[in-house]
Amino acid sequence: MREHFPGAYPPRGDDAKKLWQEAVFTFDANVMLDLFRYSPNARDRLIEILHRLKDRVWLPYQFAADFQNNRAGVIAQQRAVYDEMEKALDSSLSALLRSFDPFKYHPVLNRDRLKELFARAGDETRAIIKEARDSHPETESTEGTFDHISAIFDGKVGPPYSHDDLHKKNDEAKKRYECAIPPGYKDLHKKGPAAYGDAIAWFQLLDYAKTIDKPLILVTRDTKEDWWWEHDGKTLGPRHELIQEMVDTNTRFYMYTTERFMEYAQTHFHLDAKPEVIEEVKYMAVSACEACGKRYGSDEWEMVDITGLDAAPSLCGTCATLWNERRARRSPETAADDYEQFKRERSHTIGGISEG
Same structural domain, 231 and 145: yes
Same structural domain, 146 and 244: yes
Same structural domain, 191 and 173: yes
Same structural domain, 341 and 322: yes
Residue 197 lies in a domain: yes
Residue 257 lies in a domain: yes
Where b means 16+ CB within 10 Å and e means fewer, 120-150 reads: eebeeeeeebeeeeeeeeeeeebeebbebbe
Q: Which of 241, 253, 177, 170 is nearest to 210 (CA)?
A: 253
Note the pLDDT of residue 299: 47
Residue 114 lies in a domain: no
> Is the Cβ–Cβ distance between 61 and 153 less than 8 Å?
no
Residue 117 lies in a domain: no
Per-residue pLDDT of the chain (356 residues; tens, 9 = 90+): 877 788 878 888 888 899 999 999 999 999 999 999 899 999 999 999 999 999 999 999 999 999 999 888 888 877 778 888 888 888 888 888 888 788 777 787 788 888 889 889 999 999 999 998 888 776 555 678 999 999 999 999 999 999 999 999 999 999 999 999 999 998 877 778 888 999 999 999 999 999 999 999 999 998 888 999 988 878 889 999 999 999 999 999 999 999 999 999 999 999 999 999 999 998 887 766 777 766 555 445 565 666 655 556 777 777 888 888 887 777 777 877 788 788 777 765 433 332 22
The neighbour count for residue 90, using CB atoms within 10 Å, is: 12
Same structural domain, 310 and 164: no
Which range marks the domain in which residue 324 is found?
286-350
Q: What is the DSSP string of 78-126?
A: HHHHHHHHHHHHHHHHHHHHHTTGGGSS-SS--HHHHHHHHHHHHHHHH
Point out the domain boundary residue: 283, 301, 320.
283
Point out the domain boundary residue: 234, 257, 283.
283
C-alpha–C-alpha distance, residues 287 and 265, integer Å: 24
Distance from CA of residue 159 to its chain's centroid?
24
Same structural domain, 299 and 245: no
Residue 265 lies in a domain: yes
Kindly report the CATH number assigned to the domain that includes residue 14: 3.40.50.1010
Edge-to-edge order in the sheet of strand 24-27: 24-27, 216-220, 253-257
Q: Specify the DSSP element, H or E, that contains 176.
A: helix 163-178
Residue 91 lies in a domain: no
C-alpha–C-alpha distance, residues 304 and 316, integer Å: 10
Through-space distance between the first and last CA atoms of the chain, rounded to whole angstroms: 56
C-alpha–C-alpha distance, residues 178 and 87, integer Å: 42
In the chain, the number of structural domains is 2
Note the pLDDT of residue 351: 36
Residue 102 lies in a domain: no
C-alpha–C-alpha distance, residues 337 and 328, integer Å: 15
Peptide bond connecting 183 to the previous residue in cis, omega within 30 degrees of 0: yes
Same structural domain, 313 and 202: no
Point out the domain boundary residue: 238, 263, 283.
283
Same structural domain, 261 and 321: no
Residue 160 lies in a domain: yes
Same structural domain, 194 and 247: yes
Dihedral angle, C-alpha 245, 249, 251, 256, nearest 10 °: -30
Strands in the chain per DSSP E: 24-27, 216-220, 228-231, 234-238, 253-257, 286-288, 295-297, 301-303, 314-316, 349-350, 353-354
In three-state secondary structure terms, 135 is helix
The neighbour count for residue 238, using CB atoms within 10 Å, is: 22
Same structural domain, 53 and 199: yes
Distance from CA of residue 47 to its chain's centroid?
17
Please return the burial class of 300, using the count of CB atoms within 10 Å of its CB with bins 0-12, 13-18 and 19+: buried
C-alpha–C-alpha distance, residues 201 and 160, integer Å: 10
